[in-house]
Amino acid sequence: MHDLVFRNALLLDGTGAPGELGDLAVRDGRIAEIGRVEAAGRQEVDASGLALMPGIIDGHTHYDAQLTWDPFADPSPQLGVTTAVIGNCGFTIAPCRPADRELTMRNLTQVEGMSLEALQAGIRWDFESIPQYMDMLEASRPGLNIAAFAGHSAIRTYVMGEDSHRRAATDDEIARMAALVREAMAHGAVGFASSTNEPHNGWGGIPMPSRLADQREMLALTRAMGESGRGLFMLTKGSTMPIGQLEEIAAESGRPVLIAALFHNDADPQRVFGELDAMAAARGRGHQLVPQVSACPLTMDFTLRSAYVFESIPAWKAAIGAPLEVLRPLYASAAFREAVKRDLANQQGRGLFNGDWSLMQVSAVADPANAALEGRSVQALAEAAGQHPLDWMLDFALGENLATEFIGQLRNTDPGAVGRLVADPATHVALSDAGAHLTFLCDAAFGLHTLGYWARDQRALSLPAAVHKLTGHPAALFGIADRGLLRAGLAADLLLFDPATVGRGRNQRLHDLPAGASRLRGEGQGVRGVWVNGRQVADGNGLLPEAPRAGQLLRAFHA
């Protein structure tokens, strides 16, 4: 007898092949039979009218800190995610000396939009090294499967201390960093992650440590990773970093390079497609450059107390991490305003915010007397007042003690262009950023959005192709041997959903982080059940009240 049998489901196997009606049986956490299952199950699920697919593999998350207090990485499992890859961009919390913990948390507060109070109250520091951190995760038994990158900024801080933010590394320091990368790979890291992205600043506006690394350092550390014969280099690329530099890394390391974050930008609409073409040319020369794209529009909720959306503007550096008593006179300053306007004009669409004020809206006002302004664009409101949009926004926010909530649509606002990115066979669909920017966004339901909006509604790709993008493709990319497909003998990571209603729902603001800090939390639609290693963790109502910790720390990856 099987533990679990699904009957009459549309089986979407993760390869991109057309779905077939049939049964699927699970025994001892693994798929036992597919097709016509004669034997009974201790539990049977009538899946008539529903689709069954492998669980979603989310390749770009930042749950490194959250997992120390929340083994389920909420809300990902209830949104169909059964495997999460952490450590992206190199923003990890290991290795970390006790003396560097406060700096590490403050940097995460800035670069990943996390609450400092939540991090201080929530992180369980039962580790110092990367192997100790991984052992801790494994011992705590997560609620979903986890694969972990070794993080460049953490490694650089561990070796160089405060100088990691200030200068290039010496030969000796590079050798010590390379040894830590080798140690991480030997203990089961999925690869090595870094960032050269300009908005990636730490506490007080200082660049995150990896942004100070030169090509000599990058080559040494990626070669150290490649010595294992497996793994991949993940990089969030700055706007000026040439593709040729990444091709050199792929050639020298012998490993794939996963490149984030490729969004479509209306201010420079052909740039992303030019980068795709350059990566395709590199692959034609035998060097695996893999573009990582998002299925969702990049939108952020924020207040001007912490305006991450503007932090790529050079003149905004004076505001990064500043207290209210500094921000008020700064925002009122004519010199500050003129410098920001000048930088916006000179960025030519390269920054996170491209200067299109029509895509910036008042989301929620602090003074009920201003309620009629909610939902209106900053540009329209500024035009009505006869002001530049930046001046109107700063004046209005100052009048509400900088408590006004704005929402900015920053990238991926053209459905036709984004559909091309999502459907391109070479792209890795990810960039949920789940676990980070919690006060600004929550795209953890990116997989459900791909199945519903892009496959069903827009028909940018077929439903089987969408499933492949979320399962079989990332499993092959990350070297996850026993997941991502519906095959007898593989782990029973499964998502049961209604193809007619699947999609992402609204985000809701909760105050349930450690220390009562707030976050945006995404909801899903059309999910009927999620199983991790054969055990159900979620149903149509969300995470089960007594959900089992059924996940594993993944340490074995194929080449």
Residue 377's region, left for phi above 0, alpha for psi from -120 to 50, else beta, is beta
285 domain-assigned: yes
Confidence of residue 355 (pLDDT cuts 50, 70, 90): confident
Assess if residue 381 is contained within a domain: yes
pLDDT band at residue 268 using 50, 70 and 90 as cut-offs: confident
For residue 367, the model assigns a pLDDT of: 96
Residues 501-535: pLDDT tens digits?
Answer: 999 998 888 899 999 998 889 999 999 999 999 99
Given this model, what pLDDT does residue 349 score?
Answer: 58
* Sign of the alpha-carbon torsion through 477, 479, 480, 486: positive
Is the same domain home to 291 and 305?
no
Residues 227 and 309 in one domain: no
CB 202 within 8 A of CB 106: yes
What pLDDT does residue 321 have?
84
Q: Is the pLDDT of residue 113 over 70?
A: yes
CA dist 453 and 412 (Å) reads 14
Is residue 15 a part of any domain in this protein? Answer: no
Longest dimension (CA), the chain: 76
pLDDT band at 558 (very low <50, low <70, confident <90, very high): very high
- By three-state DSSP, how is residue 376 classified? coil
Stretch 237-248: mean pLDDT: 94
Query: What is the SS3 assignment for 217?
Result: helix
pTM for this model (two decimals)? 0.91
- 27-31's contacts with Cβ under 8 Å and 24+ in sequence apart are 27/2, 27/3, 27/534, 28/3, 28/534, 29/491, 29/492, 29/533, 29/534, 29/535, 29/550, 30/489, 30/490, 30/491, 30/492, 30/534, 31/486, 31/487, 31/488, 31/489, 31/490, 31/491, 31/492
Q: Which pLDDT value is given to residue 203?
A: 86
Angle at 436 between CA 423 and CA 275, to 5 degrees: 35
pLDDT digits (tens, 9 = 90+) for 27-43: 999 999 999 999 999 99
Pair 377, 359: CB distance under 8 Å: yes
16-27 pLDDT, tens digit per residue, is: 999 999 999 999
- Find the domain containing 244 and state its range: 54-299+412-477+489-503+520-543
Both 448 and 382 in a single domain? no
Same-domain pairing of 186 and 278:
yes
Q: What is the pLDDT of residues 173-210, one digit of tens each?
A: 999 999 999 999 999 999 999 999 988 988 888 999 99
Query: So what's the pLDDT on residue 549?
Result: 98
Residues 286 and 311 in one domain: no
- Tokens matching residue 327: 């921000």
The answer for residues whose C-beta is within 8 angstroms of residue 44's C-beta and 6 or more apart is: 4, 5, 6, 7
Pairing of strands 81-86, 503-510: unpaired
Q: Are strands 428-430 and 289-294 parallel, antiparallel or unpaired?
A: parallel
Q: Which residue among 378, 408, 438 closes a domain? A: 408
Token pair 């899903």 in the structure block, residue: 524
Q: Is residue 513 part of a domain?
A: no
- If asked whether residues 144 and 266 sit together in one domain, one would say yes
Give the separation between CA 71 and CA 57, rounded to whole angstroms.
17
Same-domain status, 201 and 67: yes
Interval 50-93: pLDDT, tens = 999 999 999 999 999 999 999 999 999 999 999 999 999 999 99
Q: Is residue 2 situated within a structural domain?
A: no
pLDDT at 403: 95
Is 21 exposed, middle or buried, given 0-12, 13-18 or 19+ CB atoms closer than 10 A?
Answer: exposed
Q: Is residue 395 part of a domain?
A: yes
Inform me whether the pLDDT recorded for 232 exceeds 90.
Answer: yes
Q: Which of 393, 408, 423 is the last residue of a domain?
A: 408
Top-confidence residue, 438 or 37: 37
CB 143 within 8 A of CB 550: yes
The whole-number pLDDT of residue 350 equals 67
Our count of domains for the chain comes to 2
Assess whether 104 and 224 both reside in one domain. Answer: yes
The per-residue pLDDT for range 118-144, each reduced to its tens digit, is 999 999 999 999 999 999 999 999 999
For residue 552, is it within any domain? no
Q: In the numeric block, which tokens belong to residue 145? A: 């499967």
Same domain, 374 and 397: yes
pLDDT of the residue at 546: 95
Q: Is the pLDDT of residue 428 over 90?
A: yes
Nearest to 164 by CA among 216, 211, 99: 211
DSSP string covering 53-119? EEPEEE-SB--TTGGGT-TT-TTGGGGTEEEEEE-GGG--S-S--GGGHHHHHHHHHHHT---HHHH
pLDDT number for residue 409: 86
pLDDT at 204: 82
Within this chain, do residues 274 and 310 fall inside the same structural domain, yes or no?
A: no
Which of 257, 256, 263, 273 lies closest to 293, judged by CA?
263
The stretch 484-511 carries a mean pLDDT of 95
CATH number for 245: 3.20.20.140
Q: Decide if 82 is inside a domain.
A: yes
Does residue 185 sit in the same domain as residue 155?
yes
Q: What is the chain's mean pLDDT, rounded? A: 95
Is the confidence at residue 351, as pLDDT, over 80?
no
| pLDDT value of residue 443 | 93
Q: pLDDT of 365-375, one tens digit each?
A: 999 999 999 99
Q: How confident is the model at residue 276 (pLDDT cuts 50, 70, 90)?
A: very high
pLDDT in tens, 303-332: 999 888 898 899 999 998 899 999 999 999
According to the model, what pLDDT value does residue 348 have? 61
How are strands ordered across the β-sheet holding 145-151? 56-58, 81-86, 145-151, 191-195, 232-236, 257-262, 289-294, 428-430
Using one digit for the tens of pLDDT, what is the confidence trace for 392-425?
Answer: 999 999 999 999 999 888 889 899 999 999 999 9
Domain boundary among 382, 408, 434: 408
Co-location of 307 and 419 in the same domain:
no
